[in-house]
Chains A and B, each alone.
Chain A
Amino acid sequence: MQTSKRPVIARRSVLLLLVLAALLVPVPAFHAPQTHRISIDASQFEYSPGRLTVNRGDTLQVTLTASDVVHGFFLDGYEIDARVEPGISQQFTVSADRSGKFNYRCSVSCGPLHPFMIGELVVGPNEPLWRASAIAVIAAAAMLIGAGTRRSA
């Protein structure tokens, strides 16, 4: 007994369209660009502040200090790498032109927990998070609906 494949193809096409929409629909930014002057202190084994939140298009003028030993500051995705010694601050600028979460981490061996000396820069709107979450929700719903209709057909 041959069943028609059309409904299956139609369901998969709808799912594909929804996933593409989740991937491609732009998330608008409603904030005018700002310049933030931020001081970040590095110490064993944390950055203070440990989490920064800005909007896409903003500029960060960072003053980096170290309060105990030599530390580094590497910003994932932006590939910014700075080194700071106690008593000598470092200044650099970050143009937050990419949205998402970007970890900043120590790039100079500073002690046992050095690989876990991590902070977070969140550039909103956090498109990667929303897109990934939307895809997960759509795919989960599609699998449930697909399984239900397949059985009831």
Chain B
Amino acid sequence: MAGERHRRHCGGGDVDRRRDPAVGVKTLVRKPPADERRLDVLGRMPRLRRVVMSRSFQPVSMLLLLAPFALAIVAGLLGTSAGNRNFGIVFVWIVWWAVLMVLMVPGFGRIWCTICPIPAPGEWIQRRGIIGGGGKLRTLGLRWPRRLRNMWIQNVGFLILALFSMIILTRPTVSAGVILGLAGVAVSMSLLFENRVFCKYVCPIGGFIGLYSMAAPIELRVRDTQVCVDHRSKDCITGNERGYGCPWMVYPGKLDRNLDCGFCTECLKTCTMDNVVINLRRPGADLAKPGGGKQIDEAYKALIMLACSIIYPAVLFGPWATVRGWASVESLWGWAIYATAFLSATLLFVPGVFWLTVFAAQRRSATGVTIRQAYREYAHSLIPLGLAAWMAFSVGFALTNGSYALAAVSDPLGWGWNLFGTSETGWTPYLSGTAPAIQAAILVGGLLFSIRTTLRVGFRHDPSGTTATRAAVPVVAFLLASTLALLWLYLG
């Protein structure tokens, strides 16, 4: 009983052990390093635990979000072509995007994947129901090819969306088509493959959410890995009457990064050993882990996202109207120039400069780490800065254009309705004078977080620390140059 209480309070960690009555008021147990401290959220919040453990938690959340997304599709197809008056554009690319990038991902990691309605219809078809638990999945049962079990499809998908982003962001029909297309692919893949193959290997949004969720201060893990090893039935994989086997095809006993977990909470329900917990932790605890970034695709994801976070504000908010015209496919030649420059920057230039950076770092250190391994691991240091860059971008866009939401919610199709009396609300930019300062603060915070990650990687490569700081200098210079470029775009 005392052990159970201890687990609830401590989430399996040693953070409060000194105060635990089961152990004693004062013991000789040392406080663990900050990176290893955990706080069991659901243990501390029993009401929230009841909600999360309920079988209806995820389906109801998805259903609640399915309604506005369905309206966004209808508005996109049938509503006004004026993007800033159309619910589809305003809801998805201003409201949803800002909430996702400014609140959800940095604060709650993969919480969006918990409630995302896009794969919901496919999942319900697989399960032959919306709420019921633990049955057999109905699919053709195809196996996802081994060589595609990585992030490359997500990388390519994101780049395609990014290349056409000016059109997607401004044309309601195109925007609706993209959402419908993603939902269609998700449903099709649910019919062919078991579980969330679409979310794990294909969804271009899930790819970067997973990457950036590693910087979040929340995680789903097991309390004690030995309990999982000793537990023969492995209900978290096979499922039981309380829930399904992990839809993300992860064995929770070996889960050590947010990237691999879709936060669907099925394992919380199926675990008969009460061994799965949701922890609060130090932000970025997944970054700089040994073996992190097992494949080069993950490093490329971080590089692509950082490159796009610099290109986007330059193209969308910069004074270069010609480039904006190219990006919005006003002429095929213009778009070809833009696409060539965009792909060269994201796939060649930025990764190439980063390779030179890591090469320089390796030359300055005396470790046995290969350049390939160093490249993959130092790429994790780009994650906090990349996330900060997207936050800065999204904050600026939302503050400037957020007021369109008031009119769009009252008149979602732009047909002259006035459901909530706000359809005549004019455009009002919020905090227009202070937004750059907010963006600068976010970027500098991201830089510091990234430098900390770089140093952790360096000191792990060289535990003696004699050359770690010297090795970190080129990577820090890369991060600083990226930050200064972003500061110039927003403030210069």
Which residue of A50, A107, A135, A140 has the most chain B CB atoms within 10 A of its CB atom? A140
| Chain A residues positioned under 8 Å from B437 (CB to CB) | 128
Residue contact B324 to A76, C-beta cutoff 8 Å: no
B491 touches A100 (CB 8 A): yes
Given A76-B432, A129-B491, A151-B468 contact (CB < 8 Å): yes
Please tell me if the beta carbons of B321 and A144 are within 8 angstroms of each other in the complex.
Answer: no
- B85 touching A109, Cβ below 8 Å: yes
Question: B375: shortest Cβ distance to chain A, in Å?
Answer: 21
Contact indicator A76/B429 (Cβ below 8 Å): yes
Mark B452-492 against chain A: 1 for CB-CB distance below 8 A, else 0: 10010001000001101110110010011001100110111
Q: With the chains together, A152 CA to B328 CA distance in Å?
A: 54
How big is chain A's contact interface, by range?
A: 35 or more
Identify A112's interface contact among B171, B316, B320, CB under 8 A: B171
Could you tell me if A139 and B447 are in contact, using CB atoms closer than 8 angstroms? yes
Residue A101 CB within 8 A of the other chain: yes
In the bound complex, CA of A139 to CA of B483 (Å): 12
Is B400 an interface residue, CB under 8 A from the partner? yes
Are the C-beta atoms of A136 and B469 separated by less than 8 Å? Answer: no
Please state if A46 and B321 are interface contacts (CB–CB under 8 Å). Answer: yes
Contact yes or no, B465 A77, CB < 8 A: no
Q: Report the Cα distance A103→B436, complex, angstroms.
A: 10
Q: How far is the CB of A127 from chain B (nearest CB, A)?
A: 10
**Residues of the B chain whose Cβ atoms lie less than 8 Å from the Cβ of A103:** 317
User: Once the chains are docked, how many angstroms separate the CA of A52 from the CA of B75?
Assistant: 39
Bound-state CA distance A109–B408 (Å) is: 14
Give B491 Cβ to nearest chain A Cβ, in Å.
4
Say yes or no: B455 contacts A115, CB within 8 Å. Answer: no
A147/B401 contact (C-beta < 8 A), A50-B321, A132-B491 known: no
Least CB distance from A12 to B in Å reads 13
Q: What 0/1 readout, one digit per residue, does chain B (425-460) give for beta carbons within 8 Å of chain A?
A: 001010011011100100110011001100100010
Taking the nearest CB of chain A, how far is it from the CB of B429, in angstroms? 7
User: Which of A27-35, A55-63, A116-124 is the contact stretch?
Assistant: A116-124
The residues of A that contact B490 with a CB separation of less than 8 Å are 101
Chain B residues whose C-beta falls within 8 Å of the C-beta of A128 in the assembled complex = 436-437, 440, 491
Residues of B within 8 A of A129 (CB): 487-488, 491-492
| Interface contact B318-A118, CB-CB below 8 Å | yes
B484: chain A residues at CB < 8 Å are 133, 136-137
Q: Closest Cβ of chain A: how far from B87's Cβ, in Å?
A: 15
Closest Cβ neighbor of B89 among chain A residues: A115
- The SS class assigned to the A binding surface is mixed
Please state if A112 and B488 are interface contacts (CB–CB under 8 Å). Answer: no
Set of chain A residues within 8 Å of B324, measured between Cβ atoms: 45-46, 113, 116
A101 touches B436 (CB 8 A): yes
Residues of B within 8 A of A78 (CB): 433
Asked whether, in the complex, the Cβ of A115 is within 8 Å of the Cβ of B479, the reply is no
- Give every chain A residue within 8 A of B225 (Cβ-Cβ): none
Say yes or no: A126 contacts B491, CB within 8 Å: yes
**Residues of chain A within 8 A of B491, CB atoms compared:** 100-101, 126, 128-129, 132
B319 proximal to A (CB < 8 A): yes
Partner of A132, one of B444, B465, B466: B444
Would you call B476 and A140 a contact (CB within 8 A)?
Answer: yes
Residues of chain B contacted by A118 (CB below 8 angstroms): 317-319
Minimum CB–CB distance from B379 to chain A (whole Å) comes to 18
In the assembled complex, the Cα of A76 lies from the Cα of B431 at a distance in Å of 9
A109 with B432: in contact, given A101-B491, A136-B484, A140-B480 (CB under 8 Å)?
no
CB-CB nearest in chain B for A151: B465
Q: Which residues does chain B contribute within 8 Å of A74, judged by CB atoms?
A: 429, 432
B448: chain A residues at CB < 8 Å are 139-140, 143
A100 — which chain B residues lie within 8 A by C-beta?
A: 436, 491
Q: Is B373 an interface residue (CB 8 A)?
A: no
Min CB distance, B287 to chain A, in Å?
15
| Distance A101 CA – B435 CA, assembled complex (angstroms) | 11
Select from chain B the residue with minimum beta-carbon distance to A75: B432
The yes or no answer to A71 lying at the interface (CB within 8 A) is: no
Q: How far is the CB of B232 from chain A (nearest CB, A)?
A: 45
Report Cα–Cα, A128/B441, bound state, in Å: 11
Closest to A131 in B: B440
- Supposing A116-B316, A143-B451, A144-B472 touch, asked if A136 and B82 sit within 8 A by C-beta, the answer is no
Question: Chain B 323-342 against A: per-residue CB contact (8 Å), 1 yes, 0 no?
Answer: 01100100000000000000
> Which of chain A's residues have a CB closer than 8 A to the CB of B470?
148
Given contacts A107-B427, A113-B170, A115-B401, contact A101 B433 (CB under 8 A): no
Q: Given A132-B440, A135-B444, A140-B480, are A76 and B435 also a contact pair (CB < 8 Å)?
A: yes
Complex contacts, A133 vs chain B, CB 8 Å: 484, 487
Distance to closest chain A CB from B323 (angstroms): 11
A36 within 8 A of B: no
Residues on B with C-beta less than 8 A from A113 are 166, 170, 324, 328
Q: Which residues of A contact B443 (CB under 8 A)?
A: 132, 136
The contact string, 1 if C-beta is below 8 Å from chain A, for chain B 249-279, is 0000000000000000000000000000000
14 further A-B contacts with Cβ under 8 Å, apart from A101-B490, A137-B484, are: A45-B321, A50-B320, A76-B435, A112-B81, A112-B83, A112-B171, A129-B488, A129-B492, A132-B487, A140-B476, A143-B452, A143-B455, A144-B476, A147-B455
Can you list 20 A-B pairs, Cβ within 8 angstroms, ordered by A?
A: A47-B319, A76-B429, A76-B432, A77-B432, A98-B433, A103-B317, A109-B84, A113-B170, A115-B400, A115-B401, A116-B324, A122-B492, A126-B492, A128-B491, A132-B443, A136-B443, A136-B447, A137-B480, A140-B451, A140-B480
Interface residues of A (CB under 8 A from B): 45-47, 50-51, 74, 76-79, 98, 100-101, 103, 105, 107, 109, 112-120, 122, 126, 128-129, 132-133, 135-137, 139-140, 143-144, 147-148, 151-152
Closest 9 CB pairs of A and B: A46-B321, A151-B465, A50-B319, A77-B433, A148-B469, A76-B432, A132-B440, A129-B491, A112-B170
